[in-house]
Amino acid sequence: MTDRVVTRFAPSPTGFLHIGGARTALFNWLYARHTGGKMLLRIEDTDRERSTEAAVTAIIEGLDWLGLTADGPPVSQFERAARHRAVAEEMVARGNAYYCYASQAELEEMREKAKAEKRPPRYDGRWRDRDPAEAPSGVKPVVRLRAPLDGETIVRDRVQGEVRFPNKDLDDLVLLRSDGTPTYMHAVVVDDHDMGVTHIIRGDDHLTNAARQTLIYKAMGWDVPEMAHIPLIHGADGAKLSKRHGALGVEAYRAMGYLPKGLLNYLARLGWSHGDDEIMSIEQMIGWFDVDDVNKGASRFDFAKLEAVNGHWMRASSDEELVEALMRERDHLPNGEILKRRDDATVRRQLTAAMPGLKERAKTLVELAESSAYLFADRPLPFEERAEAILADGGRVVIAGLLPGLSSLAEWTPEALEAVVREYAEANGLKLGKAAQPLRAALTGRTTSPGVFDVLSVLGREESLARLGDQAG
C-alpha cells in the first residue's frame, strides 16, 4: 500500500457529460494532479435501461476535449457484477448481511404502516435474525446489510465538515436484488475499494449515500476513503441549474466556442477560490487546488463571467494556437463552414495573417470565426444593411476617389496604405474615419472589423482592389 492519492470520476452514462459533471471531474483531476496521485474513470452503467453507448462516448470525448483524461482505462461497473455478488455473499458469510425473503406485498404493507404512523418508510428487519430454514420455498431472496440499530454514523467530510446520521434512520439496505444484481449503493463501495480510491469527490446530492456507504465499508472492514461533497451549481438566479441557466452538455459549450482552458478556469472558480485570483492557468490551478478550500455554499453559474474569462484566454493565446483551435474545432462550431470556404492551407495562412487584429475582439471561437468571414468571402461580397447604407450614402464616391492612389502604390503595407488614405481625406476635407468607413464596408461587407489598414494588408493588393473595384462601378 502506498499513500498515493487516487480519485475517481464516476458518471452514469444516461446522458452527456453535463457542466456540473465536468466540474466534478475537474476537481478530482486537479486534486490528483496537485498531490501527484491519479484520477480514475468509472462508468456507472448498471442501469441497463438508461445507460447508452452514445453517452459513454460523449462523456469520454467531453473529458478528452477538456484535457481531463483519466490515468487508466475506464472501468465498467456493469462488468463487475460478479465481484459485487461475491462481496455480498462474503458479507452474509461474515454475518454482516443476511437474506431477506420479504415479499413485495409485505414491503408495501410496511410502507403503508410507516406512512400511517408518520414515520419515514423503513424496512422493519423481519429477516434479520430469522432462521434461513424458515425461508419460503421458491422465493429468491435479496441480500440486506445488517446495519447497526443505534448509535450514529459520522461522515467526516472535507467540505461539509462532520455530518452525523443517527443509525436508526439508516435501515438494512439492500445490497443484492433477488435477481443477483447489485444495488447502486453496494456497487459503488466495492468498486471504490477495489480501485484503491482514497478520495471521493462528488456532488453533495450524494451526502446521505455517503453515510450508507460508510456502513458497507465498515461491514467489510475496509478503510473508508476521504470524502469531499461539493455543493451543486445553481443558476444565476439561485434556483437549481436548468437548461436555461446553462445546465447543458459539455459539447454545447464546445459548440459555443469556448476554449478548454477558459471553461476549466471558469469551472474551477465555481465553488473554489484561491484568494482573489479569477484568472488561473491550468498549472496554477494544479498548484493551488485543495478540496479543503471548496466552498460550502452553492455557486452560481454566470454566462457573462464565463465569456469574460474565456475572452481573457483568447487574448492570451498565441496566434498560432488560435488558428489551430479554429481548424480543430470547426466541425463543432455552428459557423465552422466559414473556415472551409478555401483550401486548408489558404485558410490557415489568411487566419494567421489576420489573427492579431481578430483576436482582440473575440470572446469565443464562434465570434472569431464570424469575424474572419470577410477573409474568405466570394465577390461580389454580401453586405450587411448598414454597410450597404454607408456605400450608398456617398461611400462609393469616396472609394472611386481612393482607388487610383491605392492601385498605384508600390508597396502594399499598412503604413503606405494609411498614407494614401490620409492624403485623400485631407485633400477632400474629410476626417480619416469618413474615408476609412466606406473602405471597411466595401472590403468586409460590415461596419465592424479589425483596423481597415490591417484588413487591406491581410487581403492583399489583388483581392482588395477587386473588392473596391466592385463598388467603384
User: How many Å apart are CA 398 and CA 405, to the nearest integer?
Assistant: 12
Question: Among residues 111, 193, 206, 332, which is the contact residue for ligand GLU, using CB under 6 A?
Answer: 206
Shortest Cβ distance from residue 130 to ligand GLU (Å)?
32
Based on the residue annotation, tell me whether 359 is a catalytic residue of this protein.
no
By CB under 6 A, is residue 44 in contact with ligand GLU?
yes
Nearer to ligand GLU (CB atom), residue 267 or residue 355: 267
Question: Which of these is catalytic: 243, 296, 340, 431?
Answer: 243
11 binds ligand GLU (CB under 6 A): yes
Separate counts of helices (H) and strands (E) for the chain = 18, 12
Residue 188 vs 322, nearer CB to ligand GLU: 188
CB of 51 vs ligand GLU, minimal distance in Å: 10
Distance CA 95, CA 220 (A): 10
Instruction: By CB under 6 A, tell whether 45 contacts ligand GLU.
Output: no
Secondary structure letter of residue 222 according to DSSP: P
- Contacts with ligand GLU by CB under 6 A: the residue count is 7
CB of 9 to ligand GLU, least distance (A): 8
Return the number of the residue (234 or 363) whose C-beta is nearest ligand GLU.
Answer: 234
Nearer to ligand GLU, 185 or 325 (CB): 185
Only one of the segments 7-15, 79-87, 136-144, 147-155 lies at the binding site for ligand GLU (rule: CB under 6 A); that segment is 7-15
CB of 306 to ligand GLU, least distance (A): 23
For residue 292, give the C-alpha cell. Answer: 479543503
Question: To the nearest whole angstrom, how small is the minimum distance from the Cβ of residue 5 to ligand GLU?
Answer: 16
Options 8-16, 64-72, 89-97, 171-179: segment touching ligand GLU (CB under 6 A): 8-16
Q: Does 202 bind ligand GLU (CB under 6 A)?
A: yes
Binding region for ligand GLU (CB under 6 A) out of 9-17, 27-35, 310-318, 370-378: 9-17
- Count CB neighbours of 451 within 10 A: 15
To the nearest whole angstrom, how small is the minimum distance from the Cβ of residue 462 to ligand GLU? 57
How many whole angstroms separate alpha carbon 170 and alpha carbon 72?
35
Across 329-356, b (16+ Cβ under 10 Å) vs e yields bbeebebbebbeeeeeeebbebbebbbe
Any idea how long the chain is? 473
Question: Shortest gap between Cβ of 367 and ligand GLU (angstroms)?
Answer: 33
CA distance 206 to 210: 6
Strand 38-43 versus strand 6-9 pairing type: parallel
DSSP-derived letter for residue 262 is H
**275 conformational bin, left if phi > 0, alpha if psi -120 to 50, beta if neither:** left
* Complex with ligand GLU: residue 47 or 152, whichever CB lies closer: 47
Q: How many CB atoms lie within 10 A of CB 166?
A: 11
Among 5, 6, 10, 170, binds ligand GLU (CB under 6 A): 10
Secondary structure percentages of the chain, helix, strand, coil, to 5: 55, 10, 35
Q: Does 204 bind ligand GLU (CB under 6 A)?
A: no
Query: Site for ligand GLU (CB under 6 A): which residue of 100, 188, 230, 458?
Result: 188
**Alpha carbons 468 and 473: distance in angstroms, whole number:** 9
Q: How far is the CB of 121 from ligand GLU (least distance, A)?
A: 23
CB-based closest residue to ligand GLU: 202
Q: Cis ω on the peptide bond leading into residue 380 (within 30° of 0)?
A: yes
The smaller minimum CB distance to ligand GLU, of residues 184 and 303, is found at 184
Cβ closest to ligand GLU, residue 50 vs residue 341: 50
The residue range among 4-12, 55-63, 316-324, 358-366 that interacts with ligand GLU, by the rule CB under 6 A, is 4-12
Residue for grid cell 462508468? 43
Per-residue binder mask for ligand GLU (CB under 6 A), 146-185, x = binder: ----------------------------------------
Contact (Cβ atoms closer than 8 angstroms) between residue 8 and residue 39? yes
Our CB check for ligand GLU shows the closer of 142 and 188 to be 188
* 24 CB burial (10 A radius; 0-12, 13-18, 19+): buried
Q: Classify the C-alpha dihedral 351-357-358-362 as positive or negative.
A: positive
Residue 138 C-alpha cell reads as 421458491
Distance between CA atoms of 121 and 171, rounded to whole angstroms?
9
Q: Note the maximum CA span of the chain.
A: 110
Which residues are identified as catalytic? Answer: 243
Contact positions toward ligand GLU, by CB under 6 A? 10-12, 44, 188, 202, 206
